[in-house]
Amino acid sequence: MDNLTLLADIRAHHDALEAAAAALDAYAFAAEVPDMGGWTRKDVLAHVEWWSDHSARVVAALLAGREPYPRDGEPFDIDAHNARILAESRARSLNDVRRGEAEAYRRVVAAVEAASYADLLEAGRFAWLGGEPLYRTVAADTSEHYAEHLPHLAAG
């Protein structure tokens, strides 16, 4: 893995996600997604937006020498966190979610472009990550996450 490979992977997976979203009309975005506990396609896109923006914020903070946010020492509950994201985004308009997702994508790409090879790939470079290389957080929030949710946005 290197910077260019990571960026290419992010772009390729986002291109597929963007194409799937572009094929949907407002009614399809309002439809519930099977196996997602009542989430709509709009909810899925808002969720993807939040996690892309998460990586953009984490990368920017770490490159600036700051802690992205305090960790309270409690085990991270991804389901509870995703439920908060859902609750916070439910009232947003489809246009706002689509615009927000596009902006979050641009921010995360810019953040990755600003990072050096060592910033992204060196394990232990940032203590806040607990020894993991930064690219793992970015990939989990972007390309891997886009691939996970692509089927949820597919028309059908």
Q: How many distinct structural domains can be found in the chain? A: 1
Query: For the whole model, what pTM was predicted?
Result: 0.94
Task: Provide mean pLDDT across the span 7-17.
Answer: 98
Q: Which domain holds residue 85?
A: 3-153
Using one digit for the tens of pLDDT, what is the confidence trace for 48-90?
A: 999 999 999 999 999 999 999 887 767 778 899 899 999 999 9
Q: How far is CA 3 from CA 8, 39, 118, in A?
A: 9, 34, 9
Nearest to 62 by CA among 116, 141, 8: 116
Q: Which residues are 115's β-sheet partners?
A: none
Neighbours of 139 (CB within 10 A): 20
Tokens 């986002």 sit at which residue? Answer: 14
State the CATH number of the domain containing residue 72. 1.20.120.450
